Amino acid sequence: MTAPARKVRKDASPAMRTPPVVSPEAWEAAREQLLVKEKAHTRARDALAAERRRMPWMAVKTTYAFEGPEGRSSLLDLFYGRRQLIVYRAFFEPGVFGWPEHACEGCSMVADQVAHVAHLNARDTTLVFVSRAPQPDIARLKTRMGWEMIPWFTLTDGFDADFGVDEWHGTNVFYRDGDRVFRTYFTNNRGDEQMGSTWNYLDITPLGRQEIWEDSPEGYPQTPPYKWWKWHDSYVEGAAPDKT
């Protein structure tokens, strides 16, 4: 089957060169052929996440200070008692396009894509956004844009410069062992495009999705898939994840 004839629109720009139209049987055969590559891509992605869980950690020795809705907080406070912390550096502050009505357009798209954080919390993981805007401006922006569920803190010191996000957006991941904090991962540029879903966030954390099929170091918490999944309003606040 040949592709449809190429047409020229009135504005003289070429028409889309679309793929051929085929029979259901030919379409299914093409789909099965592509599925082989897609499954290989999924396995490669899982292997990369497994390698990410084995990255060395960097000790964070500075406490850092942030302003939040309830006052001053340290980096340790941002974990909200959980073991893992994901910090996205957004640009909402004077000098950024859109201020003071809007945050950076790209950072706003990232915020728009964030899945319900209850699922991350159920895996002992906290997600927060940080920027240099004062808290009253952040509260107003969150209400306007529907981002109320995202904890959002104000940077007050050199955290952004120390972790590579003073001049560009980026996502840092931290792990808490008691009062000790470790940096475990960082991504920016197009890496941030992948963020938003529960699964992609968990895949960049040191503990991963914490499901028994994952290739994780010995002793890491893992439960059967589906067992821990709940409606986002059905998780028990403060409950520790199930362990095998």
- Find the CATH number of the domain harbouring 135: 3.40.30.10
CA 215 to each of CA 50, 65, 211: distance values in angstroms, whole numbers, following the listed order: 6, 36, 9
- Structural domain tally of the chain? 1
State residue 243's pLDDT score.
47
The answer on pLDDT for 9 being more than 80 is no
Provide the mean pLDDT of the chain. 94
**Residue 2 confidence (pLDDT) above 80:** no
**Structural domain includes residue 188:** yes
Nearest to 149 by CA among 74, 235, 232: 232
> Is residue 6's pLDDT more than 80?
no
User: Would residue 138 count as lying in a domain?
Assistant: yes
pLDDT over 70 (residue 238): no
Question: 196-234, pLDDT tens digit by residue?
Answer: 999 999 999 999 999 999 999 999 999 999 999 999 999
Mean pLDDT of 44-57: 98
79 part of a folded domain: yes
Name which of 12-21, 22-31, 98-107, 143-152 the model is least confident about.
12-21
159 closest CA partner among 33, 65, 29? 65
Task: Write the DSSP string, the chain.
Answer: -PPPPP-B-TTSPBPP-PPPP--HHHHHHHHHHHHHHHHHHHHHHHHHHHHHTTS--EEE----EEEETTEEEETTGGGTT-SEEEEEE---STTSTTTTT---HHHHHHHHTPPPTHHHHTTTEEEEEEESS-HHHHHHHHHHHT-TTS-EEEE-SSHHHHTT-SSS-EEEEEEEETTEEEEEEEE-GGGGGGBTBHHHHHHTSTTTT-BTTS---TT---B-TTTS---TT-SPTTPPPP--
How much of the chain exceeds pLDDT 90, in percent? 91
Query: Is 38 inside any structural domain?
Result: no
Please list, in sequence order, all residues whose beta carbon lies within 8 angstroms of the beta carbon of residue 212, skipping any fewer than 6 positions away. 222, 223, 224, 225, 244
Question: Is residue 150 in a domain?
Answer: yes
Question: What domain range includes position 155?
Answer: 53-203
Q: What is the pLDDT of residue 46?
A: 98
Query: Whose CA is closest to 77, among 1, 11, 130, 134?
Result: 130
| Other CB atoms within 10 Å distance of the CB of residue 55 | 13
10 pLDDT exceeds 90? no
Residue-level pLDDT at 41: 98
List, for residues 53-69, the tens digit of each pLDDT value: 999 999 999 999 999 99
The answer to whether residue 240 is domain-embedded is: no
Confidence class for position 244, pLDDT limits 50, 70, 90: very low
> What would the pLDDT profile of 98-132 be if each residue is shown by its tens digit?
999 999 999 999 999 999 999 999 999 999 999 99
∠ CA(76), CA(77), CA(81), 5° rounding? 90
Query: Does any domain span residue 222?
Result: no
What pLDDT does residue 11 have?
65
